[in-house]
Chain A
Amino acid sequence: MRHIISVLLENEAGALSRVSGLFSARGYNIESLTVAPTEDATLSRMTIVTTGSDEVIEQITKQLNKLIDVVKVVDLSDGDHIERELMLVKVRAIGKDREEMKRMADIFRGRIIGVTDKDYTIELTGPGSKLDAFLKAIDAAAILETVRTGASGIGRGDRVLKV
């Protein structure tokens, strides 16, 4: 099962490698991992997307909690949550494709943030499945380059992860 886990950890050198090292040492999967400092600069917040049986996920959260730098761990998939991912796609945009690409970007509520006479760079956010859908919807041959951040997640309503 796919799980999305949020981790608050001390914003210290090496904290990220402790987490990634844990996943590789114990053979856990990482689908994506994003991290950045929070509004409190002494803390970083990490979102990890992973897959595993209930037993494996239980071990992952326990092992994460065991890391000395980790302050809090929440499995967002335990309840209502929102997740978003950012993707930048550079697509060929010549001739009649130029208009088509603009239309597709609009349909997916993407924004064109880079323009040359040959290509567009489109910014798109949403759940991973929406980004996948966009890539499927456009002509594969027109895709020059993509970059994705991996998912960031947050609990809905009263579910707040804070120190």
Chain B
Amino acid sequence: MTQLTGAEIVIRCLQEEGIEYVFGYPGGAVLFLYDELFKQNKVKHILVRHEQGAVHAADGYARSTDKVGVALVTSGPGVTNAVTGIATAYMDSIPLVIITGQVPTHAIGQDAFQECDTVGITRPCVKHNFLVKDVKDIASTIKKAFYIAATGRPGPVVVDIPKDITAQKTEFSYPDKVSMRSYNPVVKAHAGQIKKAIQMLISAKRPMVYAGGGVILGDASQQLAQLVRLLGSPCTNTLMGLGGYPATDPQFVGMLGMHGTYEANMAMQHCDVLLAIGARFDDRVIGNPAHFFEQPRKIIHIDIDPSSISKRVRVDVPVVGDVREVLQELVKQLQAAKEKPDQAALKSWWAQIKQWRGRECLKYDRSSPIIKPQFVIEKLYEITKGDAFVTSDVGQHQMWAAQFYRFNKPRRWINSGGLGTMGVGLPYAMGVQLAHPKSTVACVTGEASIQMCIQELSTCKQYRLPIKVVSLNNRYMGMVRQWQEFFHGNRYAESYMDALPDFVKLAESYGHVGMRIEKPGDVEAALKEAFARKKDLVFMDFVTDQTENVFPMVPGGKGLSEMILV
């Protein structure tokens, strides 16, 4: 058998995995790998401008498809720059394989140039990581990395490869299968637990379905819709779950949580049976757990990760398994069940929800002479016919996008929920646009977030990515300013940004189209013009109301039903 170098083997493995794009940035420790990338054209390399952008782009690619995203960075600073991207993916359970260069094996531990303890630094923010010390182990390690990243509760996996290993030679054969005695994720749920769940759901008077990112990652939105229809219950999505249930469906009560709708939060608080699916009851979702438990309710929790169950709240019926399989089984058994949900009880539950909806918690001043950020998102929704891929950064604009863009399909809403990483929006949009070259991709951002990865505008030019950047520019780190207004006596410590760049000229200097929009009357025309430019990246700088706040709001430490409302 012919002998291949470690570098050739790595690239062959990526080809075997059917990898379309690798997002990366070269450097000393990965030169052999780049040399091999150069010699082939199956795997395309996307050259970013900062390693953080590489991991975010791979992450955006993965979120918008059901594939594993791949990034390639060099040792030392390449890795440390990538860490924010890796931690972001880890918090949201996104399958990634990150290949990192390492100094040669003989130099490890010698404080060599561009050396860092990659396995040590990334350990707390990966699903697993490997240091490959023998060229013979490369193929099996990469196979394992893809398997671990994509199965069970997905997550990022780092494969650290010393430079000398990429130069050494061995025979190559890519394993067909992986079998690991220490890693066997549960797929099929316990039948008894499903039975208990069915009984509890049928006997519910005020049922509520709360579905999170697990439904998206598990490709189970169809099954979720079937189940919710059978139950006749309201359904809410978490920030990560948006699009998992169609937002325009009458049974959808909006997003829940800190900036969730009044009706979703009230229904969470007052339901008698709560079905949680692929969600983890985090602090931004249920607020104060003690307050949450002041109302008695039974909880059924479906999750692939046993450690997500009974972590923050006590659960009555845990169901560990693959979300799609579990939902299919629930639908099947509900259809076959003799007893049906109590229609009279449901009727009065919906009457109550209707009353909560009447509170119109998302209303805002539509007659303002200054552009309201909510208005921009509403128009964005209309003009893209609700069919765009929307990435966002982190802050007020993210919440408004989540509240006002009604996602009817999964994998359309791409944002950093867990880690809350400012700067993800643009590189996410790059990954999404590459995965869906014919689709409309909008990046909703703010003038603070966008500057955290602004250098990627250059990458967008190189690969001609016609992303539409919708920047809601209020000259503040809006969410920080909002908290300072509510909780810190209007003292806007360091949340005002002076000396902002002229974003129109900035976009132009990168070779893109820039637009500044200052009046509400110009919003629609500007968006239409921008989205009509199919081949250009258009940077829309919307000058928005500086004083606008995100409502409803559950202040930190408060209960879900203790919202601040408009």
Residues of chain A having any CB pair with chain B under 8 Å: 9-10, 13-14, 17-18, 21, 25, 55, 58-59, 62-63, 65-66, 68-71, 163
A70-B182 in contact given A13-B131, A62-B306, A63-B307 (Cβ < 8 Å): yes
Are A59 and B307 in touch, CB under 8 angstroms?
A: yes
Partner of B183, one of A58, A59, A68: A68
The 4 A-B residue pairs with the shortest CB-CB distance, nearest first, are: A62-B307, A68-B128, A71-B182, A62-B306
Give chain B residues whose Cβ lies under 8 Å from the Cβ of A69: 128, 182
Indicate whether A71 sits within 8 Å of B307 (C-beta atoms), given known contacts A13-B131, A18-B123, A21-B123.
Answer: no
Instruction: With A66-B307, A68-B148 given, name 7 new contacts (CB 8 A).
Output: A9-B182, A13-B131, A14-B131, A17-B123, A21-B123, A55-B310, A65-B307
30 sampled A-B residue pairs with Cβ under 8 A: A10-B182, A13-B131, A14-B119, A14-B123, A17-B120, A18-B123, A21-B123, A21-B124, A55-B310, A59-B307, A59-B310, A59-B311, A62-B306, A62-B307, A63-B307, A65-B306, A65-B307, A66-B305, A66-B306, A66-B307, A68-B127, A68-B128, A68-B180, A68-B182, A68-B183, A69-B128, A69-B182, A70-B182, A71-B181, A71-B182
**B contact residues around A62 at 8 Å (CB):** 306-307
Bound together, the chains give a CA A69 to CA B182 distance in angstroms of 6
A68 and B181 CA atoms in complex are apart in Å by 10
Q: When A and B form their complex, what is the total count of cross-chain residue pairs whose Cβ atoms lie within 8 Å?
A: 37
Chain A residues positioned under 8 Å from B119 (CB to CB): 14
Task: Give the distance in Å from the alpha carbon of A17 to the alpha carbon of B305 in the complex.
Answer: 22
Q: Within the assembled complex, what's the spacing in Å between the Cα atoms of A153 and B24?
A: 48
User: Would A25 and B120 be within 8 Å (CB), given that A58-B310, A65-B306 are in contact?
Assistant: no
CA distance A63 to B306 in the complex (A): 9
Chain A residue nearest to B127 (CB atoms) is A68
1/0 per residue B104-139: CB within 8 Å of A?
000000000000000110011001100100000000
A52 to chain B, nearest CB (A): 14
Cα-based distance from A66 to B320 in the complex (angstroms): 13
Distance, CA A13 to CA B160, complexed state (A): 14
For B148, the chain A residues whose CB sits under 8 A away are 68
Q: Give 1 or 0 for each of B298-327: 1 = CB within 8 Å of chain A CB.
A: 000000011100110000000000000000
Q: Name the A residues within 8 Å of B124 (CB-CB).
A: 21, 25
A-facing mask of B208-252, CB < 8 A → 1, else 0? Answer: 000000000000000000000000000000000000000000000
B181 to chain A, nearest CB (A): 6
The residues of B that contact A71 with a CB separation of less than 8 Å are 181-182
Please name the residue on chain B nearest to A42 by beta carbon: B181
Complex interface: chain A residues within 8 A of B128 (CB): 68-69
In Å, the complex CA distance between A69 and B131 comes to: 14
Q: Name the CB-closest residue of B to A58.
A: B310
Interfacial residues of chain B within 181-214, with CB under 8 A of chain A in the complex: 181-183
Q: Report Cα–Cα, A151/B60, bound state, in Å.
A: 47
User: Which partner residue on chain A sits nearest B144 by CB separation?
Assistant: A68
Residues of B close to A58: CB separation below 8 A: 310
Which residues from chain B contact A66 at a C-beta distance below 8 Å? 305-307
For chain B, residues 145 to 160, give those with C-beta under 8 angstroms from any C-beta of chain A.
148
How distant is the Cα of A13 from the Cα of B123 in the complex, in angstroms?
A: 13
CA distance A55 to B311 in the complex (A): 8
Greatest chain A CB density within 10 A among B120, B123, B148 is at B123
Closest chain A CB from B118 CB (angstroms)? 11
Q: How far is the CB of A13 from chain B (nearest CB, A)?
A: 7
How many whole Å from B314's CB to the nearest CB in chain A?
A: 8
Contact partners of B127 in chain A: CB under 8 A: 68
